Structure 1
Amino acid sequence: MFKIMVVEDDIKIRTLMTDILQKYGYEVVEVVDFLQVEKIFEREAPQLVLLDLNLPYYDGFYYCRVFRRKTTVPIIIVSARDEESSQVLSMELGADDYVVKPLNIQVMLAKIMAILRRTYGEYSGKQEPEKEELPIHLDDRNFSISHNGVVEELSKNEYKLLKKLMEKKDTIVTREELLEELWDDVHFVVDNTLTVNVTRVKGKLANLGFHDVIKVKRGVGYIFEFGQTGGSQP
């Protein structure tokens, strides 16, 4: 079930959008406290945002900019502003699409389905995002890793490194593979740089309660062995 966050201050429109989205099988997060928009967004981690432009305190352009700095989650602007300048500015700030009020429900649903299909893979009304086999959630929208509500932020390279290791769980990944994954031209990368990145990732995993899941295979590379203990330090 995809989670959609609705940022709309008109109660009637928000209720209509929520009812329709729930009818089509989406989980909906309604924002009713417009002083907490950013906190709600970070807490709920929606997979798509429907964002009005005319809002209390800060407008939709502001939130579009804020969301885009933190994540690549799809954003659809839903606004009564039909002028071309508002649509162009929305796209420049990172919005993925624009729906003009009064709402055409079918158009809105079609745009939602198209963006979800494009962003998360083939879509069907009853499809759910693929469940992860591990209790660790690696979020590609904001480069973070979480477990039981505890979140650790990752740098871009830390994210890419951990994703590669998790994808090849229980398989040795060579240092050369990881270097090529993280840097386009490995000839200019100091060898110790990879070790530093691995050490940082191990520290963040430890903060979530997972110790020694990344083990060094000396002279070869690293292996991600979830749920086991021991291992050498890089």
Structure 2
Amino acid sequence: MYKIMLIEDDAQLCELVKENLERYGYEVELPIHFSKIEEEFAKINPDLVLLDINLPYYDGYYLCRSFRQKSNVPILMISARSQEMEQIMAIELGADDFITKPFTFDMLHTKIKATLRRVYGEYSAKEENQNCAGSLCLDEKTLILEYEGSRAELSKNEYKLMKKLMENEGTFVSREELIEEVWDSVTFVDDNTLTVNMTRIKQTLAKLGLSQVIKSKRGVGYMLEIPAGIQHD
């Protein structure tokens, strides 16, 4: 999951952009204090920065130059200023691209994807290898479960079970379906084997800060249910 630092003082626009990007599986971080943005940038260590020009304390040009002196992180400048000279200045100070307000979310996402692909390699490969339910993501190649920056590695069987639950998020999956998903046969698998694996998954989710998101119902099966407060999809 790519981490984007969004630096924008328009609270309404900021919330809309954050919500939209999280739907695409990005982790979006917002500054807490505009007077300490440089410190927060170092702490967040983002994969990409969306940076407005008109900001309190320091303008976007100053911050762009400051970030570029410390990091090669891609920077997309955002501004209602449409003059060519403004865009040239942003690029010369180290910005990778310039987005003029008002913009559509499709255009914003397209520019973000293109920049990430150019800087980090093939964007689609990382995106396609992940299954996400809200901010909870599961990586197919590494078997790593990630939630809000915290990570945990699953066993191969735990990964298969978690993937099945995430693909059916909000719906109960029968014990038989889960067993067949992992062991191919219900006949020769002890029912307790599934229970043990599900217990381990629940413990892992709890360590990530997601307690009781897997529900079980006797005679029905298991269901992954992400609470509304952390569901972004």
Aligned match of 1:63: 63
Tell me the CA shift for residue 32 of structure 1: 3.5
Q: Check the 8 A contact 1:5/1:49 in 2, yes or no.
A: yes
Q: Distance in 1 between matches of 2:82 and 2:128?
A: 33
CA deviation string 1:23-62 (max 9, x = no partner): 0000010123101110110001000000000000110000
Residue pairs, 1:148-187, within 5 angstroms: none
Which stretch of the first structure deviates more once superposed, 112-121 or 47-56? 112-121
Deviation track 1:91-131 (CA, whole Å, cap 9, x = no partner) reads 00000001000122111100100110111111123457997
SS in structure 1 at match of 2:78? strand
Other structure's SS at 2:6 match: strand
TM-score, normalised by the number of residues in structure 1: 0.54
Instruction: Answer whether contact 1:80 1:102 (CA < 8 A) is retained.
Output: yes
1:57 is paired with a residue whose SS is coil
CA contact (8 A) 1:25 1:126 kept: no
Q: Paired residue for 2:9?
A: 9
1:184 aligned partner: none
SS of alignment partner, residue 49 of structure 2:
strand
Q: How many aligned positions are there?
A: 131
Q: How does 1:130-145 map to 2 (within 5 A)?
A: none
Summarize the alignment of residues 1-234 of structure 1 with structure 2, pairs less than 5 Å apart: 1-124=1-124, 125-127=127-129
CA distance in 2, matches of 1:50, 1:58: 15
Greater fraction of residues in helix:
2
Distance in 1 (CA, whole Å) between partners of 2:36 and 2:128 is 31
Higher relative contact order (CA 8 A, sep 6+): 2
Contact 1:9/1:32, CA 8 A, preserved across alignment = no
Q: Distance in 2 between matches of 1:117 and 1:84?
A: 25
Change (3 A) 1:127 1:54: farther
Q: Take 1:102 and 1:2, find their aligned partners in 2: how far apart are those partners?
A: 24
Which residues of structure 1 form unaligned runs of 5+? 132-234
Residue type of the alignment partner of 2:42 = E
Q: Could you tell me which runs of 5 or more consecutive residues in structure 2 were left unpaired when the two chains were aligned.
A: 131-138, 143-233
Name the amino acid aligned to 1:55: L
Q: TM-score when scaled to structure 2?
A: 0.54
Identity within the alignment, %: 48
Structure 1 vs Structure 2 CA RMSD? 1.6
